[in-house]
Chain A
Amino acid sequence: MTNTWQDIRNANLVIVMGGNAAEAHPCGFKWVIEAKIENGAKLVVVDPRFTRTASVADYYAPIRPGTDIAFLSGVMRYLLEKDAIQHEYVRSYTNAGLIVREGYAFQDGLFSGYEEARHGYDRSTWDYELDEKGFAKSDDTWQDPRCVINLLKQHVARYTPEMVSRICGTPQDKFLHICELIAATAAPEKAMTSLFALGWTQHTVGSQNIRAMAMVQLLLGNIGVAGGGMNALRGHSNIQGLTDVGLLSNLMPGYLTLPNDRETTFDDYMKTRLFKPLRDGQTSYWQNYRKFVVSLQKALYGDAATAENNWAYDWLPKLDIPLYDVIKAFEMMNNGELTGYICQGFNPLQAFPDRGKIRRGLSKLKFLVTMDPLDTETSRFWQDFGPQNPAKPSEIQTEVFQLPTTCFAEESGSLVNSARWLQWHWKAAEAPGIAKSDIWIMTGIFQRLRELYRKEGGAFPDPVLNLTWKYTDPRAPDPEELAKEMNGRALTDLTDATTGAVTKGGTLLDSFAQLRDDGSTSAGCWIFTGSFTEKGNMMARRDATDPREQGIAPNWAWAWPANRRILYNRASADVNGKAWNPKKPIIEWNGTRWVGLDVPDYGPTVKPTDGVGPFIMNAEGMGRLFARDLMADGPFPEHYEPMESPVDNVLHPKVAHNPVARVFADDRANFGKREDFPYVATTYRLTEHFHFWTKHALINAILQPEEFVEIGEALAKEKGIEQGGWVKVSSKRGEVVCKAYVTKRIKPLTVDGKPTHVIGVPLHWGFTGQARKGYGANTLTPSVGDANTQTPEFKAFLVNVEKTTAPVAA
């Protein structure tokens, strides 16, 4: 989230698209209701289903799964055509006026530079025209046909209301009404907030779904302001934290990235991470990258990371491919390329696409380790549970270790919420039996490995032997010590260049601005610097005071970066430093510095007249309507059909799907055809369950005891399916036999003139826990991911449905 949960109350319009906050995030959704009651806000919901969020909306429109980019491109077209954009904001704070180089083009579904053989783009033309100083050329009058705003107009011109309706199945009048509501927030003092979740990410165009809305928000001037922003409602309690700390195949803590094979030296690595400003005088904060990575290496390797060995650069693993994501991991497993797999609090047999492939992959491992408080399906993949998990144990040679761990109530530590707050929690009881914390278990494995390398030697032991482990109890490091390690310290006395103030060596740091690239500071996660200082554990703060009740509460816990609650908040004020919305200012220029409710996302004394852009992390200092070469699938979003789609791509039939989606051959062979699988399916959560955990909790297992699918009345009638009757839902990859819930909440859509039915597949059931056994939604879903992130396409695929009889009781 760019903003906070409570800040939603400041919105004039709340749009929920790509999520279902009322059911998936109920206690956060209260702030939408607060916005409606206290701020007169309107709630708009666009969703394939009439969800509980839709049931309290002021306006609802249906949409076919996987067509959000067409809808949002239509919105952009409307805004540009009606000139309903916040001009001063767009002109000064976005790259609308920057000029794109000759050679960039888009035609018949492809951007310039497409290379068919590798399903990828040469992205070199997707950039600005540069002047002799290396700065981007611009035309503030927007007359140049190659400036971004004109290219955008041209790009979205195809998305007329007729076309949007034809692709999305959304009736034109509903689409246009929503456009009107959105356009009203172009007024400088009005804000729309976008609340979204996996309904946008889990598509082959997932990242571009989100970009499309971010562009809408930039056009409206809704980023950085109270009640605005792009608010990803994240899933697990610390999914934000694990992203921040970089537990993803290509990441390091604080959004630093692992090197690749071509970056053979530290200097090579830094070359693509220098982030030289693209306009004169811009902040381009990533210019400090070297300080962050050297401080990380000092945290990891202490005295063994030196200037002479380039801060142990060689000890970082180098990537030969962009991602070793989960779909790739299971492809490797199926090809016999993985020996072992460790699942820490993760249940891939339930969570990853194409369950059959997951089960086959696990069966090929030499060993599997699970670490979990609960008896997961994954840990028992080898056991026969009947049709829900058919297995022949005697034929599966995988060694399995099922390690019991503590749960939330039995450990202390911090979790990062969706709004980037680091909140500390405390242990309330011991774990059952001899279950242990993940920290103890990971330490136990590591200490044993280190001992083996000490005794036996072996492959490249240096990083294993030199990893810092200066904890009071080296067998069970204290969470507070780990928190301090991430926060970082001065390693020698540091003298501030401007103030002359000295920070003593050994002192915990207050700010990442203190970090150095000469080895005199350490910080395990630079964006967390300031969370645990000499003043104490800032994450444990409990002062809920909220000046003007604007939803900032600056002294409750601690937010990264720098305790900043609203990202890009410089953009909440105009070019002279006055708030666009005088009733809800966040920061303003007082003549000498930026002051207000929040920590400025800007140099605190940088004058508004200096022309420094508000998006200080970007090299051009501006919000990007044109993404340059940073997205795999294009600098502008484009509508591509889901990999399994009921219709042709009416915009460019020859490039129907995302042309740079990575598809493994076996997965492609497992895509179904619309003739065999005529219905669109989409997966989702219910309010009574959290993924595959709560079926282990008695109350939740009683509330939603068994697997079902939701089918609209029209389709049910056509197929003779009764309320509560048994159905078989099948895709190319497998079948689920469960009950049907026949509902008025999913209605057929008219897509390109044809009726299109959508089937809802809640995802909570498996074969362990207290609920009834189920097949799991991932039995049906295709193994293909978003072209940028490889997040699986769970939200739009094809199935067939048939009436069947109740299974014979076993």
Chain B
Amino acid sequence: MTMTRREFIKFTGLGLAASSLGMLGFGAAGVAQAAAVRPFKLTHATETRNTCTYCSVACGILIYSMGDRAKNALSNIIHIEGDPDHPVNRGTLCPKGSALLDIVHAPTRLKAPRYREPGSAEFKEVSWDFALDRIARLMKDDRDKHFQATNAAGTTVNRWTSIGMLAASASSSETSFLTWKVTRSLGMVVFDNQARV
């Protein structure tokens, strides 16, 4: 008998359901339901190749989500495992990578912009427009006030030292290039990422 990996999962899953669950006293309907849910969990999922977000071993991972990427279908990530084809990790993940699903769905994932007024003891939810308009205003006002076009000797230096930025070393290189463009075009020099630490 030849079977694909998924058929094998289906097959063993059904066998398990028929034997152990049956013995636990589930009726035929329960067995059928369990069989439908467990073995098919990943066969119905959409597989996406990605890279573990933690260290620089950069283990290949497979992300499984429900939803078929149709226009109005929201994907829900249900499982993450090591990519067996990846030449470095060969399917393995460490205690951090194995728990990636929990960081994707962490209860402390942020869902909307929040703002804290001076002196306030709490955050309040705000719109993106409010947040970005206000940030741009604060940045421009400070840049116009503190931008150094020349130094004491009168030479052109075009730098801005009164607003600083830390960039994210878990963000993509594409994100980082765009970030570099924006910050340097403004003349920003107080600028680092985790590589400094």
Fill in one digit per residue for B109-150: 1 if any A CB lies within 8 Å of its CB, else 0: 111111111111101000010011111111110111111010
B194–A235 touching, CB < 8 Å: yes
A655 within 8 A of B: no
Residue of A whose beta carbon sits closest to that of B134: A401
Please tell me if B54 contacts chain A, counting CB pairs below 8 Å: yes
A413 touches B110 (CB 8 A): no
Complex formed: what's the CA distance from A237 to B132 in Å?
Answer: 28
- Determine whether A593 belongs to the interface, using a CB cutoff of 8 Å to chain B: no
Does A318 contact B57, Cβ atoms closer than 8 Å? no
A713 within 8 A of B: no
Residues of B contacting A427 in the complex (Cβ-Cβ under 8 angstroms): 48
A-B contact count (CB 8 A): 494
Q: Which 3 pairs from chain A and chain B are nearest by CB?
A: A345-B168, A433-B111, A413-B172
Inter-chain contacts of B136 with A (CB < 8 A): 445, 448-449, 452
Q: Give the Cβ gap from A436 to chain B, nearest Cβ, in Å.
A: 7
27 A-B pairs with C-beta separation under 8 A: A6-B88, A235-B169, A236-B54, A261-B157, A314-B156, A317-B158, A317-B160, A332-B190, A343-B166, A344-B168, A348-B166, A396-B118, A397-B119, A398-B118, A400-B115, A404-B112, A408-B53, A411-B175, A415-B173, A418-B57, A422-B173, A433-B112, A449-B136, A449-B140, A688-B95, A698-B102, A700-B96
Q: A241-B176, A409-B50, A690-B55 are in contact. Are A428 and B103 (CB under 8 A)?
A: no
Interface string of A423-452 (1 = CB under 8 A from B): 101111110111111110111111011001
B144: chain A residues within 8 A (beta carbon): 458-459
- For window 368-409 of A, CB contacts with B under 8 Å fall at 369, 371-375, 382-384, 393-405, 407-409
Q: CB-nearest residue of chain A relative to B95?
A: A688
Q: Specify the chain B residue showing the minimal Cβ separation from A465.
A: B185
Residue total for A at the interface (Cβ-Cβ under 8 A): 163
Quick check: B140 and A399 within 8 Å, CB to CB? no
B75 at the interface (CB under 8 A from A): yes
**Cβ-closest chain B residue relative to A478:** B174
Whether A401 lies near B131 (C-beta < 8 A) is yes
B164 touches A248 (CB 8 A): no
One of B1-9, B33-41, B58-66 at the interface: B58-66
Q: Tell me whether B71 is interfacial, beta carbon within 8 Å.
A: no
Complex contacts, B139 vs chain A, CB 8 Å: 340, 445, 449
- B173 proximity list for chain A (CB < 8 A): 238, 241-242, 244-245, 413-416, 422, 483, 486, 525, 528
Q: How far is the CA of A316 from the CA of B113 in the complex (A)?
A: 32
Q: Mark A691-714, 1 if CB is under 8 A from B, else 0.
A: 001101111100100000000000
B186 and A464 form a contact (CB under 8 A): yes
Interface membership of B24, Cβ < 8 A: no
Chain A residues with Cβ under 8 A from B32's Cβ?
Answer: none
A405, A407, A428, A769: the one within 8 Å of B75 (CB): A428
- B25 sits at the interface (CB 8 A): no
A386 and B193 CA atoms in complex are apart in Å by 29
Asked if A24 CB lies within 8 Å of chain B CBs, one says yes
- Please report the C-alpha to C-alpha distance between residue A246 and residue B191 in the assembled complex, in whole angstroms: 10
CA of A337 to CA of B146 in the docked complex: distance in angstroms? 10
Interface residues of A in 323-376 (CB under 8 A from B): 324-326, 328-329, 332-333, 337-346, 348, 351-352, 366-367, 369, 371-375
B167 touches A242 (CB 8 A): yes
Q: Is the CB of B58 within 8 A of A344?
A: no
A120: CB under 8 A from chain B? no
Asked whether B149 lies within 8 Å of A459 as measured between CB atoms, the reply is yes
Give chain A nearest CB distance to B52 CB in angstroms.
7
**By CB atoms of chain B within 10 A, which of A375, A383, A402, A435 has the most?**
A402
**Cα–Cα, bound, A768→B93 (Å):** 25
B112 adjacent to A790 (CB under 8 Å) = no
Also in contact, A425 and B51, with CB within 8 A (given A245-B180, A413-B172, A467-B181)? yes
**A542 contacts the other chain (Cβ, under 8 Å)?**
yes
Partner of B170, one of A26, A236, A249, A703: A236
Name the A residues within 8 Å of B51 (CB-CB).
237, 408, 415, 417, 423, 425
Return the contact of B109 from the options A316, A317, A432 (Cβ within 8 A): A432
In B56-98, the 8 Å CB interface with A consists of 56-60, 63, 65, 67, 74-77, 80, 82, 85-90, 92-98
Among B49, B99, B110, B180, point to the contact of A375 (Cβ < 8 A): B110
Complex contact B174–A439 (CB within 8 A): yes
Q: Is A78 on the interface with B (CB-CB < 8 A)?
A: no
Cβ-neighbour of B56 out of A399, A417, A482 (below 8 A): A417
Q: Across the interface, do B182 and A553 meet the contact criterion of CB distance under 8 Å?
A: no
Q: Could you tell me if A400 and B116 are in contact, using CB atoms closer than 8 angstroms?
A: yes
How many whole Å from B138's CB to the nearest CB in chain A?
5
Contact of A407 among B53, B115, B121, B155 (CB under 8 A): B53
CA distance A542 to B60 in the complex (A): 11
Contact present for B106 and A237 (CB under 8 Å): no
| Residues on A with beta carbons closer than 8 Å to the beta carbon of B185 | 300, 315, 446, 463-464, 467
- B96–A689 touching, CB < 8 Å: yes
Instruction: Return chain B residues, CB-CB under 8 Å to A445.
Output: 132, 135-136, 139, 182
Q: How far is the CB of B182 from chain A (nearest CB, A)?
A: 5
| Distance in Å: Cβ of B48 to nearest Cβ of chain A | 4
Q: Which of B157, B169, B182 contacts A318 (CB under 8 A)?
A: B157
**Once the chains are docked, how many angstroms separate the CA of A151 from the CA of B118?**
60
Residues of B within 8 A of A404 (CB): 109-113
Contacts of A524 in B (CB 8 A): 177, 181
Q: Does A453 contact B (CB under 8 A)?
A: yes
Q: Does B28 have its Cβ within 8 Å of any Cβ on chain A?
A: no
Asked if B163 contacts A338 (CB within 8 A), the reply is: yes
